Structures are given as structure tokens and as C-alpha cells.
Amino acid sequence: MSTVSGREVAVSGAGSAAERRPEAARGGGSAPGARAVSAPAALLRLLGSEIGLTFRRPRNIAMLAVLAVVPVLIGVALRAFGGPDDNDGGGPAIFTQVTGNGLFLTFAALSVLVQLMLPVAVAVVAGDSVAGEAGIGTLRYLLVAPAGRTRLLAVKYANAAVFCLAAVTVVALSALLAGLLLFPAGPITLLSGGTIPLFDGLLRIGLVVLYVAAGMAALAAVALALSTLTEVAVGAIASTVVLVIVTQVLGVIPQLSGLQPYLLTHWWSGFDGVLRDPIATGDMGQGLLVFAAYAVVFGSIAWARFTGKDVTS
Amino acid sequence: MSERTRRGRAMRWGVPVAAIAVVAGALGAGPVIAAVQGEPALPERTAEQLLADATKATRADVKPMSGTVIQTASLGLPGLPEVAGMGGTSPAALLAGSHELKVWYGGEGRVRLALPGRMSETDLIANGNQVWLWESDANKATRIKGADARQGAGPEKALPTAATPQLTAAEVLRRAQADTVVEVTNTERVADRPAYQLVLKPKDGASLIREVKLALDGETFVPLRVQVYARSAAEPAFEIGFTSVTFTPPAAENFTFTPPAGAKVEERTFGARDQESGAEHDRAEGLRETIKTVGEGWTSVAVLPFSEKDLKAGLSQGRGGGQSDGQGSGQGGGQGDGRGGQDANAIVDALLKSAKPVSGAWGNGRVVQTKLVSALLTDDGRLLVGAVTPEKLAEAAGRR
């Protein structure tokens, strides 16, 4: 009990840090009771506290708000100036289709945001998860709780994955609302020329959200691994973003096209398979396998580093 | 730090190393499994038996099937402009890189071919005499009249790729003549199925083609893959083949097409295009009659009366600029849309820039060489094209 109260003292004494971790401090305070509670329940409570923290941080809320605004901006721009077809710009055909069916705004917005804005948001949350705690000195107090380092890391990753899903869902819902308000809605014309009812279209949007969230969760594993390597959160976040940009540059160099199937970024926008008839499960399945491979490799690196490192701050 | 924690730390890092090894193993396992399974599972057949079986299979009705075809071209076109940026479904883009084509065949003239691009798709759906070309990029559905899928392979020719394995293989089989060394292996695996492989090697050293490999399914004798190897490279210069194939009847929905609401719907008669280009089409027909061939078999050279200006005009009209690879040039299906013409023009410009001036007893000209095809444009207005060395072209130019 003394260590726990020690943590409480340290946390409340740290000013901004106390503000940062009130929930965890409360969780820590009930730690002796948690021994009696079953392990999964304790784990869930830790996860709940992490998620609460993530979604209460002003920075994260601001990021989600920006993500929600972009689809609306795209929709308003398309509504005001017409699709790229009208001025013969020859842009991506997906934007042309938005003006005909509002549901396509979801696909258009996701295909734009998945390139950089969603990865940046995910990098901020996942890159901050361990390094941020180490940076403000709360990591060692977290480790005092009887959760164990492996479980703590699992909770951190689950938290990042939940944020990925939330961010993608926010984009999809905002785009869906904007699309339905600004443009006519109706049965969806697939890329293959077939038509499916509106409800089926919504189901397929759900599949896209899950696919993109899985892709983002793979990036979260990379960011988490980088986060365990440093005590400076900005370092982990920036190196993740740089990694994303470098990968994308590698992906567009025609001479290196052989590299593409191994690049994480190459698969992020691979969700167009749901718009085909029949759904191109092969390509998307391959994408999911790539995501899983990245998550396993970088997750294990994060684990090896985090469970073995000396936590001094 | 104690010895124990240090060892523990080293062992921990074994986990990510193992994870990387597992992923790398999974990546490499495909070919390894294929190699292990590649024991001769098929009875041995001679080339004649195999050719006969294959011919029989091409004549008889092909079983309903569906699958994914990958086409890869590395033709070594000099200074090819950035055609990849023009969209995955642009016909000219097929000249470089790797492209995927989905095939559904339902028997009785029911075919669907889909060329997926990123966020776009080009579909050709043939159901009896109902033939539709759907381009999602342009939101355009084109009904092609006068093409009946039941009369042979008409609609397949109309698709930009114009080359399913069946068609390409038929062309290769036709060429198998006395000037070819033919070998058969029975250990090949294509699209995870045991297959026979027919290897055709030209005897004439002047041919740029080293060998043509044709893989036939061990059970149905459906051609599964065609590879064309150039003398100058170890990797195939042109390859088209199934990466996955199933011989079960595909769902009937694949072969029905109704233009979606809001799409542009056009009608076009197969063969003769719209009236505007009718005159030019006649001119192209006239040109075709004036084409002479010099030599035979692998080293035959086509001689066309063409000047640079004609070449560009002809290409912008869309007469199969993408078919200069020597394979299936006889079934050249033009694309006839403006974009394809522009792409072709850009390619021709790049090719002409890279042309080397040559001269000989026959006069002066410029020669363009790729891995599989050389072309000689003489100053007296002839274009010589063939899958042969430039020396052979010059020799042909001397023979008037």
C-alpha cells in the first residue's frame, strides 16, 4: 500500500502530471482490491482507464474534430464547384461519383485521409503511449500496479487500436452525414457496374471502416515499437510519420514497384475491393495478412524492448 | 546489471527475430511448397500428344471456369514515358509493369472480363449477343453490336488486353513449325495446379525470342500461362497467366449487365467504328493490304509503307498501338478512344527519340530495338518490324 500511496503523492505533486493521470491514479489506489478481482477484469479496468484518458485529452479530441471536418470540406467543395468531371480535370473517378451518390463521399474521404491525416493521428496516440508516460515520469508508477509489463503493453496497444477504429469511424460517419445532406442518396453503383441497395452499401462501408482501422492498427504497432525505444514522445511520433512518408515515396517510384506489396502504405487504400462485384476478397485478405504481419513483428519488438528495459523515469 | 537479466534480455529479443523469421518464411513458403509438390504428378506426354490434346481442348467447349490472370510486360521499350500515371486501365499502361485481369467463363458464350484499377474498373460482359463494355472511370457503358460471343472469341478481342491465355496460346500453337525446337515438361505448377509445359525455341539465331513457354493444365489442357523470353534477359519479357483458377461454373450474376442509373450509355458496332472515323478506317484497311512480309516463321519481317507522319496519324486513330510486342499482333483490336491514342503518340515520340540512325546499301533509316521487337524506319518511307535483330531488318530492307 505504501508504494501505491507513494505514487499518489508523486502524481498529485507533479501538477500537470496529476491532471494527466487522475484516472490511473484512482485505479492505482484501488490496486490492493484488484488482487481479489479476476485478472481479466483488472485488465479491462486498466484498458477502460486508458481509453478514458485517450478520449479526454484535448489534443486527441482536436485531432478527431479535424478528421471529422475534412470530409465535410470535401463534400462542400464538390457541391460548390462540381465534380472534377465538369471542368475536365480528369481527377480520380471516385470524386465524380460523389456528386451522383452521397454515399461515395465516405469512400472518397477515406481514400484521401488514409494517405496522411489518419496515420498522423494514429502516430500521435500510439507514439505517445509509452514514451509520453516515460517523458513526464508516470511510467514507473504505472508499472507499480500489479498488471505486469506485458499486460500494460497489451493495454496500451489495445487502446491505440480502439483509437484507430474511432478515428476511422468518425471520418466515415462525418462523410456519411455530409454526403447524405449534400448529395442525393440511393442505390450504389459498384465499380463493376452493378447496383446494390442502399442498405448493402452501408454494410460495405462498415467493411471498409474495419479494413482501414486494421491498417491503422498495424501502423499503431510500429508507432508503439518506436515509442518503447525513446523517452521523448515527439521523437516516436515524428519518426513514425517520417516512416509513413518515406514508405509512400518508395511506393510511387516506378523503378521500385516490386517493393510495393511489402509496403504498409500500399495496402491502406486497398479497400476498393468492397466496391467490386463480387467483393474482391483475395486482394483485401492479402492486405489484412500484411497488416497482421506488421502488427506481429513490431508488436514483438515493442514487447522485447519494453519488458527488458530499465525504467528510470 | 546481473548476468541473469542480461541473458533474459537477449532471449526476449529472440521473439521479434522469430516473428520476422515466421513472416519471411510465410513469404517464401509459397514457392517452396510449390517446389515440394512439383514432383511429376502427371503422366509423361510427348509434344505431339500434348499438342493434340491441347488442340482438342481448344476445339471442344472449354469448361466453365473463373480465375485471376496476371499480365506482366517488361519489353524494354526505350525511354517509355510515364504511362503508369495514366491509370491502371489505360491500354497503353499494359505495355509496362504488371496488370491483373479477372476472368469468368460460364460456357455458351458467357464471358466476363474485369480489369481492376485503383478505385476503377473496366469490365467486358458478354452474354450471347449481349455485349457490354463498362468503364467505371468514365461512368460509361458501351453496348457493342454485331459481336456474338457464340461465334468464337469475338468479344475477347474487343477488350483492351485482347489476350486471354487461350487466345495467346492458339497463336503460339499456330507458329509451332519446322523451325522450332519443341520440348515438354510435366513438372510445372501454375495457379496451384499441375501443368504440362511446352517449350518452343526458335532455331534461327536472328530471332530476338529465346523461347516461348506455354503451360497447359494437366487435367483440362486449358492454357494456364504463356511466357515469352527474350535472348537478352533471364526474366520473361512478356508473361500472361492465371495466378488462381477454379473450374466451377461462376455465378450467373456475373454475366448480366444493366447500365446503372446515371451512366452514359453508348452503342457501337463491332468492327466498323462510328461514322466519323469510317474514312480513316478504310484507309487503315487499305494499309493492311499493302503490308508485305519478308522471311518466314520466327524471323519474318513485316514491311509497311509508312512515314513518321502516317505512323502518328494512324496511332492517334487508335489502331492498336499497344500491340507492337509481336504477340497476337494479328488480332490487334484497336481501342479507338482518344486517350489510348494520346498514350500511343507519347510512346511513339519516345521511341523515335531513342532511334539510332543506320545506313546500308538499301539507304538510310532509323532503328528502334526493344527486347522482343526491332523496327526500322527507312528514309524512303518504309517501316520494317519483326522479332529479329536489327541486322536482319537491314537485310530485309535490302530485299525489295
Instruction: Identify whether residues B131 and B56 lie together within a single domain.
Output: yes
Instruction: Identify whether residues B241 and B306 lie together within a single domain.
Output: no
Could B260 and A94 be called an inter-chain contact, meaning their C-beta atoms sit closer than 8 Å? no
Query: What is the average pLDDT across B163-173?
Result: 59
CATH classification at residue B181: 2.50.20.10
- Of B247, B264, B281, which one is at a domain's C-terminal end? B264
Could A191 and B119 be called an inter-chain contact, meaning their C-beta atoms sit closer than 8 Å? yes
Q: Is the pLDDT of residue B329 over 50?
A: no
- Among chain A residues, the shortest Cα distance to B256 is held by A194
Q: Helix B3-12 to helix A281-308 angle, to the nearest 10 degrees? A: 170
A304 neighbourhood in chain B, CB within 8 Å: 12-13, 15-16
pLDDT score for A130: 92
- Separate counts of helices (H) and strands (E) for chain A: 15, 2
A200 neighbourhood in chain B, CB within 8 Å: none
Q: What is the DSSP string of A1-13?
A: -HHHHHHHHHHHH
Could B119 and A93 be called an inter-chain contact, meaning their C-beta atoms sit closer than 8 Å? yes
B119 neighbourhood in chain A, CB within 8 Å: 92-94, 107, 111, 191, 269, 272, 275
Which cell numbers in the block locate residue B252? 450467373
Could A293 and B26 be called an inter-chain contact, meaning their C-beta atoms sit closer than 8 Å? yes
pLDDT in tens, B182-234: 788 888 888 888 888 888 888 887 888 888 898 888 888 888 899 999 887 88
pLDDT in tens, B64-113: 888 888 888 877 765 554 444 434 445 555 666 678 888 898 887 888 98
Closest of B177, B141, B170, B264 to residue A100, by C-alpha: B264
Any idea of the CA torsion for A103, A108, A109, A110, to the nearest 10 degrees? 100
User: What's the ipTM?
Assistant: 0.73
Instruction: Identify whether residues B176 and B307 lie together within a single domain.
Output: no
- Of B264, B297, B313, which one is at a domain's C-terminal end? B264
Residues 6+ apart with CB under 8 A from B108: B128, B150
Closest of B116, B118, B120 to residue B103, by C-alpha: B116
HSE-CB at A92 with a 13 A cutoff on CA atoms is 17
Q: Which residues of A touch B (CB under 8 A)?
A: 92-94, 96-97, 100, 107, 111, 186-187, 189, 191-195, 254, 257, 269, 272, 275-278, 280, 282, 293, 296-297, 299-301, 303-304, 307-308
Instruction: Identify whether residues B68 and B208 lie together within a single domain.
Output: yes
pLDDT in tens, B110-150: 889 888 877 788 888 988 888 888 888 788 888 887 655 44
Q: Is the pLDDT of residue B177 over 60?
A: no
Angle value at C-alpha A255, between A253 and A261, nearest 5 degrees:
75
Distance (Å) from the alpha carbon of B349 to chain A's nearest alpha carbon: 20
Between B146-155, B309-318, B373-382, the lowest mean confidence (pLDDT) is in B146-155
Q: Is the pLDDT of residue B352 over 60?
A: yes
A293: nearest CB among B23, B257, B261: B23
What CA–CA distance (Å, rounded) separates A90 from A107? 18
pLDDT score for A73: 94
Between B28-32, B261-265, B292-296, the lowest mean confidence (pLDDT) is in B28-32
In percent, the amount of chain B with pLDDT more than 90 equals 2
Q: Is the pLDDT of residue B262 over 80?
A: no
- Among chain A residues, the shortest Cα distance to B114 is held by A192
Closest of B196, B246, B243, B244 to residue B98, by C-alpha: B243
B12: nearest CB among A254, A293, A308: A308
The number of distinct structural domains making up chain B is 3
Per the domain annotation, does B42 fall within a domain?
no
pLDDT score for A101: 83
A103 neighbourhood in chain B, CB within 8 Å: none
Which cell numbers in the block locate residue A175? 462523410
pLDDT in tens, B5-51: 677 777 888 889 999 998 888 887 765 665 665 555 678 877 667 77
The pair phi, psi for residue A160, each rounded to 5°, is -65, -40
Instruction: Identify whether residues B27 and B74 lie together within a single domain.
Output: no
Answer for the pair B252, B106: CB distance below 8 angstroms, yes or no: yes
Which cell numbers in the block locate residue A116? 496522411
What CA–CA distance (Å, rounded) separates B1 from B7? 10
Angle value at C-alpha A254, between A242 and B25, nearest 5 degrees:
70
Instruction: Identify whether residues B133 and B258 lie together within a single domain.
Output: yes
What CA–CA distance (Å, rounded) separates A76 from A73? 5
Residue A48 burial (10 A CB sphere; 0-12, 13-18, 19+): middle
- Of B213, B241, B264, which one is at a domain's C-terminal end? B264
Instruction: Identify whether residues B236 and B87 lie together within a single domain.
Output: yes
Per the domain annotation, does B66 fall within a domain?
yes
Q: Which residue has the higher pLDDT, B62 or B327?
A: B62
**Residue environment code for B363-377, b if the CB has 16+ CB neighbours within 10 A, otherwise e:** eebbbbbbbbbbbbb
pLDDT averaged over consecutive 10-residue blocks of chain A (313 residues)? 37 40 45 57 89 95 96 92 55 71 90 93 95 88 79 94 97 94 86 86 93 97 95 94 95 82 90 86 89 95 88 70
B119: nearest CB among A94, A189, A304: A94
Closest of B118, B134, B68 to residue A272, by C-alpha: B118
pLDDT score for B356: 80
Per the domain annotation, does B248 fall within a domain?
yes
What CA–CA distance (Å, rounded) separates B214 from B229? 11
Instruction: Identify whether residues B65 and B188 lie together within a single domain.
Output: yes
Domain range for B8 is 3-37
Instruction: Identify whether residues B205 and B302 lie together within a single domain.
Output: no
- Among chain A residues, the shortest Cα distance to B86 is held by A90
A276 neighbourhood in chain B, CB within 8 Å: 114, 116, 121
Instruction: Identify whether residues B65 and B178 lie together within a single domain.
Output: yes
Instruction: Identify whether residues B161 and B16 lie together within a single domain.
Output: no
Long-range contacts of B177-181 (CB under 8 A, 24+ apart): B177/B297, B178/B297, B179/B203, B179/B204, B179/B296, B179/B297, B179/B298, B180/B297, B180/B298
Task: Provide the chain B residues 167-186 that lie in CB contact (below 8 A) with chain A.
Answer: none
B68 touches chain A (CB under 8 A): yes
What CA–CA distance (Å, rounded) separates B394 from B157? 33
Answer for the pair A250, A191: CB distance below 8 angstroms, yes or no: no
Residues 6+ apart with CB under 8 A from A197: A187, A188
Distance (Å) from the alpha carbon of A190 to chain B's nearest alpha carbon: 8
Per the domain annotation, does B388 fall within a domain?
yes
H-type alpha helices, B2-74: 3-12, 14-37, 47-59
pLDDT score for B30: 61
Instruction: Identify whether residues B190 and B245 lie together within a single domain.
Output: yes
